[in-house]
Structure 1
């Protein structure tokens, strides 16, 4: 799980350059998230972790924090 979080942090750091994101920090509350970023994040997760993000997964709460994103990926990997 830590390796998953590190990969997610690495991706997010490209968008949050001036800030060291904490695992439980709400990226929506920081105001940097837009629809283009959301699509890039989903595409990164699908490619990096070989998972499929389905329409029912597109709940903002799944993408709010590094912890919640890692939990989503981990859950997807358990199902495969």
Structure 2
């Protein structure tokens, strides 16, 4: 995992993952739950993907629906957690 992650790069990667997985276009700010593209079961898939792709462990306080609502929110979470891990 690179310590030079940016929300723009991660957001783009997550949009690509969402597009491939959901088989429909997804913009970085799209609320995938409100648009009916995702449900709580899919959120589990997102957690597994993010942890494996970015080498992170997401913990209790990270696991809110708001953190997974959009590629932008997920990217912000990834960058925040990566910075926290990098500072340890």
Which TM-score bucket, shorter chain as reference? 0.7 to 0.9
For structure 1, the 5+ residue unaligned runs are: none
Runs of 4+ in structure 1 off by over 3 angstroms are none
Match of 1:16 among 10, 22, 29: 22
Q: Give the structure-1-normalised TM-score.
A: 0.88
- The number of aligned residues is 79
Partner of 1:79: 84
Q: Give the structure-2-normalised TM-score.
A: 0.81
1:7-28 Cα offsets, whole Å, 9 max, x none, are 211211123323x212111111
Match of 1:33 among 38, 46, 53: 38
My pick for the range that moved more, 2-11 or 56-65, is 2-11
1:18-48 Cα offsets, whole Å, 9 max, x none, are 3x21211111111121232111100000000
When the two chains are superposed, the root-mean-square deviation of aligned CA atoms in Å is: 1.2
